[in-house]
Structure 1
Amino acid sequence: MANIDHSRRAFFRRPSALIAKPVKEEDSSANSWLPQRPPWALQEATFVDQCTRCHECIVACEENIIFIGDGGFPEIDFNRGECTFCEACVDTCKPSALFKQDRQVKQDQPVTETEQQAFYFDIKIDDSCLAKQKIHCQSCKDVCDPRAITMPWPKKVTSGAIQAPEINIADCTSCGACISTCPSQSISINPITSPNSLPTATTRAGGDNKTGAQT
């Protein structure tokens, strides 16, 4: 795992009051919503069933981004910082509500593809982005270690045009580093439940809402 330069993160971080808008789980009732769970959380129904609300994952989190959410269950808040994927929360989770195959293999608990990715989040940059308003800013790009955020020129370059951010979903780790650094609070991150809910398009820019099942 690559080392994270936290001093660089702190330089770019801005206070944010952004509250992510949760999305509906595909197979749940119309009135239920998905909270943002810690990394490697099981699918929502299984997570809630297995989590004992011991809050050990909150204590273990080195970035202090896990907090007690609704019902006493742990949630994650990227406004407080990013996930470094240190796996401390997984290591401390005795009921395995947070489960990573190569860390905790159990013969009596089948491991699915969904459980192997730290997060299944959908990330978007809306039109309030400073760069989209023709104000130079690349805060999100500067803190993106996997280089999932790029700043291409628009296809039709006109007078006064500047580079605006785009997110490459295939490269994004959903670490959340870009959330707290965005000065205009333009980046939203929403949990989804299944790999089949992930975007089929490689690049998601702005408000593009294309989703579909992956093959």
Structure 2
Amino acid sequence: MVDLSRRRLFTRKTASEDTLRLPWLNTPKFFTDLCTQCGECLKACETQIIVKGDGGFPQVDFTIDECTFCYQCADACPEPLFLSKQEAPWQAKASINEQCLAQRNVECRSCSEMCESVAIQFQLEVGRVAQPKLDTQLCNGCGACVSVCPTLSINVSNFVV
């Protein structure tokens, strides 16, 4: 009989610290130690944003769609990895980098149009197109702004720049 816990030593890769795993994780730091890679969360995700990442462990890919915070990934998981739905799903926030079209003086507001929490708003500036202003206090880290960005200049992670 094969001891799967030992076998995992050879397949696990260390994900970068900004890898966004799943919402409501009880202990994100130990996720790769406790996750069995069963894939139930991938099947349960209503927007199909949970994909196999480094080492085959689930992670969120906002280039596909947004997180609706439906809690189906947590409900489907056979392991005790998740907090209750009443807790905050995560501390993840969006950040906008210098590749943003508006910062390059090209009119674009696609991110703010998708932001239900109104965390991204555009402010008029003299001699330039309106510039994005991100309020991290309002941002819930849903990622709706990521897939609609034509330059992929928005990132959602636990480490806001």
Aligned residue among 19, 27, 47 for 1:43:
27
For residues 156-183 of structure 1, the C-alpha deviation after alignment (integer angstroms, 9 at most, x for no partner) is x2xx322111111111110001001001
Query: What is the aligned partner in structure 1 of residue 51 from structure 2?
Result: 67
Mapping for residues 35-114 of structure 1, pairs under 5 Å: 35-100=19-84, 102=86
* Cα distance, 1:101 vs structure 2: 5.4
- Give 1:194-205 correspondences, 5 Å limit: none
- Could you tell me the TM-score, scaled by structure 2's length? 0.82
Identity of aligned residues (%): 37
Kindly provide the CA deviation profile for residues 19-71 of structure 1, in whole angstroms up to 9, marking residues without a partner as x. Answer: xxxxxxxxxxxx86222101112333332232221111000001111011222
8 Å Cα contact 1:46-1:97 kept in structure 2:
no
**Aligned residue pair count:** 147
- The aligned residue for residue 156 of structure 2 is 189
What letter corresponds to residue 122 of structure 2 in structure 1?
M
- Structure 1 unaligned regions, length at least 5: 1-30, 103-115, 193-198, 200-208, 210-215
Normalized per residue, the structure richer in strand is: 2
Partner residue in 1 for 2:147? 180
- Equivalent residue of 1:163, what SS? strand
> Shift in Å at residue 189 of structure 1?
2.1
Partner in structure 2 of residue 171 of structure 1: 138
Aligned to 1:162: 129
Change (3 A) 1:32 1:92: closer
How far apart are the structure 1 equivalents of 2:66 and 2:36?
Answer: 25
| Corresponding letter in the other structure for 2:51 | F
Contact in 2 for aligned 1:128/1:184 (Cα 8 Å): yes
1:126-137 correspondence runs (5 A): 126-137=97-108
The TM-score normalised by the length of structure 1 is 0.63
**Alpha-carbon distance between aligned partners in 1 of 2:32 and 2:101, rounded to the nearest angstrom:** 38
Q: Is there any run of 5+ residues in structure 2 with no aligned partner, and where?
A: 1-13
Q: CA RMSD in A?
A: 1.9
What do residues 93-149 of structure 1 show as CA deviations (whole Å, max 9, x unaligned)? 2212132254xxxxxxxxxxxxx3212224221122111111111000000011111
2:12 is equivalent to residue 33 of structure 1? no
